[in-house]
Amino acid sequence: MALATFADMQETFPLEYTQDISVETIHMRAVQTVETIYDGCHVFPYCSQGSFYQRSGQHRDALKSWAKAAQAVSRYISKDKDKEVIVGNFRVSP
């Protein structure tokens, strides 16, 4: 999750010493880490990557990332109250 946050910050306020690493690469590394270490159970890196792709005009890739986020969320919905909380935090804004 820290890598996804770092990628968002890098997109907004680029650091001079990290210019050789693209924001897309950082997002990809965040997703790769979640899939490798955490078995795809964290939602935030997928949402962050999807938002990046949407801002970049890569809408198909954004939808793919958001679909992966939805798959991660689907593992945890057990009660209606949980569903309301998750849906409230999962809104996609343009």
Residue 39 lies in a domain: yes
Q: What are phi and psi of 15, to 5 degrees?
A: -90, 145
Residue 84 lies inside a defined structural domain of this protein: yes
71-92 average pLDDT score: 69
C-alpha angle 86-88-91 in degrees, rounded to nearest 5: 100
- The answer to whether residue 83 sits within a structural domain is yes
Long-range pairs for 53-59: beta carbons < 8 A, 24 or more residues apart: 54/92, 54/94, 55/11, 56/24
Q: Rounded to two decimals, what is the model's pTM?
A: 0.74
Using one digit for the tens of pLDDT, what is the confidence trace for 4-30?
777 877 777 777 776 678 888 888 888
- Structural domain including 57 reads 2-89
* 77 φψ region: left (φ > 0), alpha (ψ -120 to 50), beta (else): beta
Predicted pLDDT of residue 25: 86
pLDDT in tens, 44-76: 899 889 989 998 999 999 999 999 998 888 887
Residue 94 lies in a domain: no
What mean pLDDT do residues 25-43 have? 88
The domain tally of the chain equals: 1
